[in-house]
């Protein structure tokens, strides 16, 4: 396949491209780049110009045939990205320059590594560089300060440095399924102290009378989504004072169009009722916490959690241990439980490197940022090496 007759388009809404056409290029079960997920974000109003996420998705055609796609946004702030560049924005501001708007290739509010630039498999390898040059030309034409590519699935070849890209190193904590046959099998690979601690945490949740249930796909009804959304908002209000980036319509729409990619861990508490002559064991169940997960053919992604009150170790049980058990049972190879959280180390999650790539239009700022990320990378690598020493495994 040659690379003539290439046409690049930028669309302001994901519904300007056919769902099947977009997904055929993506060609992966990774949920967050699916047309349905991006459409749920936009159609719910969670992602739009008003919220600071103006869609500007890339479509590449050859002879009217779609050959490449990339989620793109023009951003007027840096919230919801999880690769923090607020210092860079402040440096621009203090120097009398504008950092925003900027161009961003990422999945909104989703720091999960995966496909970003998807290219039809029959395309020659050099098509990627041509597309990148087109995006840079586009950013310069709009007078944007920069272009940022966050959490690509794989480390990208440094050939992009010829185009001025800066590679930034980050860190997350992920769990890997080492052919475990059961949760006990996983525990047997842990040191005695850590194994006992995990067992103790799980037992305390169980002894408190909490009942845990896995609910998947179409079994997640509207009432359950409403209860989850209440917990989601409560968590954000407690953490940051706002109600969260996403609205209830997004979650319900994603649940409707991506049912096979969604799983919940629902925690219920048994509430004794007044004893009656008919039964002295009458009780009802109240949902007290929910953890929301997305999944694909090989991976589990922990996304959101919330509870109606504080419960000892319930967060660890619903968000980590239930996820690990689910991966083992379903033979999923990898569990991304969400950004940050050094406390995950002692529960079997390993520190891993993540990557982002940054093109800065102003050469002076670009050099300063390049120097910054080089120094930062050394601290990240040192941190990963130190954290690996704390892993619970024998």
Percent of the chain topping pLDDT 90: 85
Residue 1 has pLDDT above 70, yes or no: no
Strands (E), the chain: 6-11, 53-55, 57-62, 65-70, 73-75, 102-105, 118-119, 146-150, 165-176, 210-216, 262-272, 283-295, 299-307, 334-336, 350-360
| Mean pLDDT, rounded, for 318-329 | 98
- Which pLDDT value is given to residue 14? 98
| pLDDT tens digits along 290-307 | 999 999 999 999 999 999
For residue 232, report the phi and psi dihedrals to the nearest 5 degrees: -55, -50
| Beta-bridge partners for 211 | 268
Q: Provide the phi-psi class of 374: left if phi over 0, else alpha when psi is between -120 and 50, else beta.
A: alpha
Residue 337 has pLDDT above 80, yes or no: yes
Q: Higher-confidence residue: 333 or 338?
A: 333
Of 102, 25, 111, 97, nearest in space to 56 by CA: 102
Structural domains of the chain, with CATH:
6-171+352-388 (3.40.630.30), 178-332 (3.40.630.30)
Are the C-beta atoms of 152 and 309 separated by less than 8 Å? no
366 pLDDT tier (thresholds 50, 70, 90) = very high
Are the C-beta atoms of 82 and 150 separated by less than 8 Å? yes
- Which pLDDT value is given to residue 277? 47
| Rounded Cα–Cα distance for residues 220 and 257 (Å) | 12
Structure tokens at 144: 């944007």
260 pLDDT tier (thresholds 50, 70, 90) = very high
| pLDDT tens digits along 185-204 | 999 999 999 999 999 999 99
Per-residue three-class SS string for 265-333: EEEEEEEECCCCCCCCCCEEEEEEEEEEEEECCCEEEEEEEEECCCCCCHHHHHHHHHHHHHHHHHCCC
Are the C-beta atoms of 311 and 279 separated by less than 8 Å? no
Of 142, 119, 172, 134, nearest in space to 54 by CA: 142
| Rounded Cα–Cα distance for residues 241 and 108 (Å) | 20
- Which pLDDT value is given to residue 158? 52
Residue 161 has pLDDT above 70, yes or no: no
Are the C-beta atoms of 232 and 304 separated by less than 8 Å? yes
Number of residues in the chain = 394
- Which pLDDT value is given to residue 283? 53
Residue 271 has pLDDT above 90, yes or no: no
Q: Higher-confidence residue: 200 or 162?
A: 200
Residue 276 has pLDDT above 50, yes or no: no
| Mean pLDDT, rounded, for 98-127 | 94
Of 68, 54, 52, nearest in space to 9 by CA: 68
| pLDDT tens digits along 125-158 | 789 888 999 999 999 999 999 999 999 987 766 5
- Which pLDDT value is given to residue 216? 97
Percent of the chain topping pLDDT 70: 94
- Which pLDDT value is given to residue 229? 97
Please confirm whether the linkage preceding 350 is cis (ω < 30° from 0).
no
């Amino acid at each position: 396949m040659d690379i003539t007759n290439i046409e690049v388009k930028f669309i302001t809404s994901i519904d300007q491209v056919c769902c099947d056409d977009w997904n055929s290029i993506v060609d992966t079960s990774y949920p967050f780049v699916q047309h349905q997920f991006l459409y749920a974000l936009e159609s719910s109003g969670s992602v739009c110009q008003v919220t600071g996420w103006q869609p500007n998705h890339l479509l590449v055609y050859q002879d009217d045939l779609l050959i490449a796609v990339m989620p793109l946004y023009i951003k007027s702030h840096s919230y919801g990205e999880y690769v923090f560049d607020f210092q860079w924005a402040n440096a621009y501001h203090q120097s009398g320059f504008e950092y925003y708007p900027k161009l961003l290739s990422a999945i909104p509010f989703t720091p999960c590594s995966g496909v970003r630039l998807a290219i039809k498999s029959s395309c020659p390898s050099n098509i990627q560089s041509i597309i990148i040059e087109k995006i840079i030309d586009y950013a310069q034409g709009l007078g944007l300060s920069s272009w940022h590519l966050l959490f690509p699935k794989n480390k990208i070849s440094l050939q992009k440095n010829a185009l001025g890209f800066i590679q930034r190193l980050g860190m997350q904590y992920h769990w890997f399924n080492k052919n475990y046959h059961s949760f006990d099998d996983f525990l047997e690979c842990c040191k005695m102290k850590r194994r006992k601690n995990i067992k103790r945490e799980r037992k305390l949740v169980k002894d408190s009378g909490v009942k845990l249930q896995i609910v998947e796909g179409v079994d997640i009804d509207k009432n359950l989504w409403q209860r989850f959304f209440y917990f989601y908002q409560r968590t954000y209000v407690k953490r940051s004072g706002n109600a969260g980036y996403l609205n209830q319509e997004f979650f319900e729409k994603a649940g409707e169009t991506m049912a096979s990619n969604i799983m919940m861990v629902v925690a219920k508490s048994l509430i004794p009722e007044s004893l009656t002559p008919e039964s002295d064991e009458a009780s009802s169940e109240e949902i007290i916490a929910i953890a929301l997960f997305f999944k694909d053919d090989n991976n589990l992604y922990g996304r959101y959690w919330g509870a109606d009150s504080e419960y000892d170790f319930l967060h660890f049980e619903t968000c980590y241990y239930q996820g690990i058990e689910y991966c083992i049972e379903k033979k999923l190879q990898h569990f991304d439980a969400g950004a940050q959280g050094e406390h995950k180390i002692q529960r079997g999650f390993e520190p891993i490197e993540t990557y982002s790539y940054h093109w800065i239009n102003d050469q002076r700022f670009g050099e300063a940022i390049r120097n910054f990320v080089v120094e930062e990378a050394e601290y990240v690598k040192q941190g990963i090496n130190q954290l690996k020493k704390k892993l619970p495994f024998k």
